Structure 1
Amino acid sequence: MKIEVKDVSKKYKDTNALDNISFTLNEPKIYGLLGRNGAGKTTFMEILSGQILASKGQILIDGEPPFDNQRLTEAICLIKEGNNFKRDLKVKNVLRIYSYFYPTWDQELADELIAEYNLNLNAKVKALSKGMVSALGIIVGLASKAPITIFDEPYIGLDAAARKKFYEILLEEYESEKRTIIFSTHLIDEVSLMFEEVLILQDGKLVLKEEAEELRNNTCAVSGTVQDVEEFVKGKEVIQSKNLAGMMTAYVYGSIEQAKSAGLSAEGIPIQELMIYLTEKKGA
């Protein structure tokens, strides 16, 4: 499903949660939606899923707005960090409701995930631990098979082994049946290798949209003498640089091979580090 974001802004009183952002997601991929707290990620996901309206501009999915559009809301599943489910419902009733709502629901997958996470079907949501509530969200998100599936920090309370299992199952399901997956997380190092495209928001603005492989191949940290590094970065876009005792390190758009051929030390920049540098106030 094609997602077109056209000049979207969202204002809450005196705060611009989103500030005139525009971009297009053309095809099913795993997208990493990154940014610091307050960057506007959750607001964007809520507008995309049809839960709230933009103050200005619009999001179109296959040419239609998602708000108050049953055909599209049945094709979008948003799992947020918390408060996804009514606390007084039993787990089995939550799953039954979602199975009725999503025409693409995969009950076999839901049953496998229930067993994997050892979820008590007769427990009420309010009696579950944070980890089990997260597991329930993961089950709904994956089993929905929604063409647009959005995970916003979906793993609160899950230990490292349970998170790893989630990532593995998500990739398996994606490979068997492609869909648009938008993944927002602060544990970027854990999941960055899954991302096919990266979007970074800062203060409600889009500061980067790039294919993940291009990002990995075309950004690097170069180190050497101040003179050599300054010569290498001439005409290149420098993200950040620092000097110490006659030596210099610069985070730059350029290839590792090119830097090494210039006699400099070079290595890739992890996406998490790149996000931090791009969203620092002075560089945003």
Structure 2
Amino acid sequence: MIVQLHLALVMAIDARLLVLDEPTLGLDLLYRKQFYQSLLEDYFDEQRTILITTHQVEEIEHILSDVMFIRDGRITLQTDMDSLGERYAEVMVAAEYADAARAMKPLSERSVFGKSVYLFDGVERQQLQALGDVRRPSLADIFVATMQGSYT
């Protein structure tokens, strides 16, 4: 209840820049979704900027206009969401094309249902289509691939 009260107070502030650090921590799924919906409907307009820091990127991916990854105090990725979708691609590759996929130097590789899924940065979609089904990766998958190994 106290968390919900704090969130209501934050949203009552009339500021041009609103900075929220893990704003839905401690809330169940229903309240988290309501919070972000209310934030967009009741607070956001063209005159305001909302900066959200969170580890729950899958919750807010659909409302983002820009994204920034920070590691050890340094910006490792900063781009708008449209550019992110153009830059990164994920391909589910059958075993016979695995060597060709690895030759294109993917950022990451993982196994799903007996096939390998590769995440690429900056590789032309046309090249990737020859390997398999090309999709837009989730923001969480891009985060994991770009940060992999930095916390070991």
**Aligning the two structures, in what range does the TM-score lie when normalised by the shorter sequence?**
0.7 to 0.9
Match of residue 7 from structure 2: 138
Per the TM alignment, residue 154 of structure 1 is displaced from its structure 2 partner at its CA by 1.4
Select which of 65, 68, 71 maps to 1:202: 71
- Number of aligned residue pairs: give it: 147
Select which of 226, 237, 260 maps to 2:98: 226
Q: Quick one: structure 1 residues 155 and 282, their matched pair in 2 at CA, closer, same or farther if it must change by over 3 Å?
A: closer
Two-structure CA RMSD over aligned residues (Å): 2.8
- 2:84 and 2:55 mapped to 1: Cα distance? 18
- 1:170 and 1:198 mapped to 2: Cα distance? 18
SS of match in other structure, 1:183: strand
Q: Which amino acid aligns with 2:98?
A: V
Alignment of 1:15-164 (within 5 A): 132-164=1-33
- 1:256 and 1:170 mapped to 2: Cα distance? 37
In structure 2, the gaps of 5 or more residues are: none
Match of residue 269 from structure 1: 137
Say which structure is richer in helix.
2
SS of match in other structure, 1:182: strand
TM score, norm. by length of structure 1: 0.45
- Contact between 1:229 and 1:248, CA under 8 Å: does it hold in 2? no
SS of match in other structure, 1:250: strand
Per the TM alignment, residue 240 of structure 1 is displaced from its structure 2 partner at its CA by 2.1
Per the TM alignment, residue 186 of structure 1 is displaced from its structure 2 partner at its CA by 1.7
Per the TM alignment, residue 270 of structure 1 is displaced from its structure 2 partner at its CA by 0.6
TM score, norm. by length of structure 2: 0.80
- 1:151 and 1:168 mapped to 2: Cα distance? 15
- 2:76 and 2:128 mapped to 1: Cα distance? 28
Select which of 55, 59, 63 maps to 1:186: 55
Q: Which amino acid aligns with 2:145?
A: Y
Q: Which has the larger radius of gyration?
A: 1
- 1:133 and 1:274 mapped to 2: Cα distance? 34
Q: Which amino acid aligns with 1:264?
A: G
Per the TM alignment, residue 180 of structure 1 is displaced from its structure 2 partner at its CA by 1.3
Select which of 253, 256, 267 maps to 2:121: 253
Q: Quick one: structure 1 residues 161 and 211, their matched pair in 2 at CA, closer, same or farther if it must change by over 3 Å?
A: same
